[in-house]
């Protein structure tokens, strides 16, 4: 019947999970630095949950590309990783999820609720 | 000096997603984002859904792939408007691409929109598109350990469709281990077992849609 074909990306480029995330992060950093009338961004403090699957080295790599010749060039990236933490809904125990073992370590039930691990935000930036 | 930011890194995408949602709401369109790894059965499930529901809903489909229009062509053959997005390398759809696709969709002629995301169990979970519900398709041949390996996707799904159950006698798949993993990550998501080949379970999938698609049919 009807079919439209949309190609928003102009070139065939291998892109990774972290590229779009780092681009958004970089844009936010520049935005906040400009609002603070900063001349230089020295450090970006990131909070990243383990559930996001973000690889620090990839973010670092892309950030260096994006920030070249900008006030954020050579800014240090700090990655505060948040583990996937759960709470047992039966006995209240709070614990970090281990690979393939998601039962409560105290009562061994699987009735758990994920509490942390999905974070992906900029906590602060350090500027001059 | 330290400048406190406390902003979600993907807030820019979320803002565009919110605008997409406003547009869809204004047109009375209920939107479902369908995600899975490549080959788990997103297009197959969509085709079976269209066959069963095209007299009840005015359906439109946005197809996301890195390249080709194979899926959009298959959908269009069912007489449903289909827009194909080729990301050219991006491994997920984002709100901006979705907005571009919406501009090419006859929004006044549909009331139920399916967005078939790029096949990927990692990135689509991060990016809001403006949808009302998120559907994750997992399939039997992928194995029962997928919730443990890809927790974010299983955590954020509104429903999990376990496809290819006709293959259960032929592959190692521990249903108890799979269910335990899903329930640990997501207390609210139902697991609907289906086979798009034999048709088993598709009535339950349709029942879920009828119970959860809250926009009135126009």
**Band of the pLDDT at B123, cuts 50, 70, 90?**
confident
Q: Are the beta carbons of B101 and A6 separated by less than 8 Å?
A: yes
Q: Model pTM?
A: 0.88
Is pLDDT larger for residue B3 or for residue A8?
B3
On chain B, the residues whose CB falls within 8 A of the CB of A111 are 183
Is pLDDT larger for residue B119 or for residue A12?
B119
> Could you tell me the CA-to-CA distances from A63 to A16, A68, A100, B57, B90 in Å, in that order?
13, 8, 33, 45, 18
Asked if residue B58 has pLDDT above 70, the reply is: yes
Best interface-test mutation with A: which of B3, B8, B9 has the largest number of A CBs within 10 A?
B9
Q: Are the beta carbons of B148 and A120 separated by less than 8 Å?
A: no
Nearest CA in chain B to A100: B148
User: Could you report the per-residue pLDDT of A14-50, keeping only the tens digit for each?
Assistant: 345 788 899 999 999 999 999 999 999 999 999 999 8
> Could you tell me the CA-to-CA distances from A3 to B47, B59, B73, B98, B218 in Å, in that order?
15, 13, 7, 15, 22
Tell me the percentage of chain B whose pLDDT exceeds 90: 82
User: Could you report the per-residue pLDDT of B136-178, keeping only the tens digit for each?
Assistant: 999 999 999 999 999 999 999 999 999 999 999 999 999 999 9
Q: Pick from B3, B9, B96: which is nearest to A36 by CB?
A: B3
What pLDDT score was predicted for residue A13? Answer: 37
Would you state the structure tokens that stand for residue A26, as one six-digit string?
A: 């970089």
Q: Pick from A13, A24, A32: which is nearest to B12 by CB?
A: A24
What pLDDT score was predicted for residue B25? Answer: 95
* Chain A to chain B Cβ contacts (< 8 Å): 161
What pLDDT score was predicted for residue B218? Answer: 45
């Amino acid at each position: 019947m009807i079919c439209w074909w949309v190609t928003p990306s102009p070139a065939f480029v291998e892109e990774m999970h972290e590229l779009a995330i780092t681009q958004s992060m970089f844009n936010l950093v520049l935005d906040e630095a400009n609002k603070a009338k900063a001349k230089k961004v020295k450090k970006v403090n990131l909070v990243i949950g383990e559930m996001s699957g973000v690889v620090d080295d990839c973010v670092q790599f892309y950030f260096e590309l994006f920030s070249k010749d900008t006030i954020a060039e050579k800014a240090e990236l700090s990655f505060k990783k948040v583990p996937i933490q759960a709470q047992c809904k039966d006995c209240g125990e709070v614990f970090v999820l281990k690979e393939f073992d998601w039962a409560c370590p105290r009562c061994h039930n699987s009735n758990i609720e994920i509490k942390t691990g999905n974070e992906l935000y900029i906590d602060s930036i350090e500027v001059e | 000096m330290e400048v406190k930011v406390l902003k979600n890194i993907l807030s820019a995408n979320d803002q565009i997603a919110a605008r997409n949602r406003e547009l869809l709401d204004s047109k009375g369109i209920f939107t479902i984002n369908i995600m899975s790894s490549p080959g788990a059965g997103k297009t197959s499930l969509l085709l079976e859904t269209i066959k069963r529901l095209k007299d009840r809903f005015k359906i439109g489909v946005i197809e996301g792939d890195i390249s080709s229009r194979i899926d959009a062509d298959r959908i269009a053959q069912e007489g449903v408007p289909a827009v194909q997005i080729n990301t050219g390398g991006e491994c997920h759809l984002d709100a901006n691409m979705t907005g571009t696709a919406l501009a090419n969709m006859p929004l006044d002629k549909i009331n139920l929109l399916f967005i078939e995301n790029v096949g990927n169990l990692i990135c689509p979970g991060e990016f809001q598109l403006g949808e009302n519900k998120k559907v994750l398709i997992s399939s039997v041949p992928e194995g029962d350990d997928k919730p443990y390996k890809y927790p974010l996707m299983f955590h954020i799904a509104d429903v999990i469709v376990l496809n290819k159950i006709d293959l259960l006698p032929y592959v190692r798949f521990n249903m108890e281990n799979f269910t335990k993993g899903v329930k640990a990550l997501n207390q609210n998501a139902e697991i609907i077992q289906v086979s798009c080949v034999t048709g088993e379970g598709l009535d339950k999938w349709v029942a879920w849609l009828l119970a959860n698609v809250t926009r009135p049919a126009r």
